Every structure is written in C-alpha cells, then in structure tokens.
Amino acid sequence: MDVIIIDGQTVEQDPEGYLRKLTDWQPVVAEHLARQEGIELSEAHWEILNLLRDFYQEYEMSPAMRPLVKAVAAKLGPDKGKSIYLMSLFPGSPPKLASKIAGLPKPTNCL
C-alpha cells in the first residue's frame, strides 16, 4: 500500500492512502487510487476531481464539505452543488475521498 508502481512510475502513499508528492499525480494515478477505494471513475467524478484541483491551485488548501459544495454549485450548478450528490459519487466523506483521488492533501478542519 505504501508504494505503488503505475506505468513504471513509482508513487508513494501515506498510511491513509494520500499521495506523498503532489507532482506524482496524473489521471492514470487517479484511476488507480479510485479503484483502491472501490470506485470506477466516470465523467461525473472527473468534473469534481478537476474542480478540486482548480480549487487547490487557487487557494493552496483542500476544501472541507461546505466550501466544496459552494464551489461545485458555483461552477457546475445548484443541482450538483448538494452534499447528497457528492455523497453519491464519493461515499462517506466526499471532501476526504475526492481529495485523495485528486492527489491533494487531506482536508484539515473536516468533520
């Protein structure tokens, strides 16, 4: 679990499965991380993952639930900007799970 090899590239994970290095992330890594969590990535997942990566680019932090919902509502519309929709894609804790698959740090201050 600590080191995975994808397309000949070595990718390190922390004990919770988050990437050690931001720069190790690429789409094929995301697919691998998602499978570890029992998720097959669809277009709907990718919309959220890309939005999260943009969020991190702008604010240099991973969002908790409320700001994530707010960002999704602003970019993808009110139907998707709901916790129930995000829960259907990333069950359990959407901010934690989606940040992990997006190769970002674990959100702090997240219940």
Partner 1 sequence: MSENKKSFLIINRKAPYGSSAARDALDVALTISVFEQPLSLLFLDDAVLQLLPSHKPDQIGQKNLSANLAMLEMYDIDQLYVSRTSLEQRGINPDTIQLKIKPLTEPEIALLIKQHDQVLSF
Residues lying near partner 1 in the complex (CB under 8 A) are found at: 58-61, 63-67, 70-71, 108-111
Which has the closest alpha carbon to 97: 48, 47, 24, 26?
A: 48
In the complex, least distance from residue 65 CB atom to partner 1, rounded to whole angstroms? 8
The answer to whether 101 touches 29, Cβ cutoff 8 Å, is no
The answer to whether 103 touches 57, Cβ cutoff 8 Å, is no
110 a catalytic residue: yes
Of 39 and 99, CB closest to partner 1 = 99
Of 2 and 60, CB closest to partner 1 = 60
Report, as residue numbers or ranges, the catalytic residues: 110
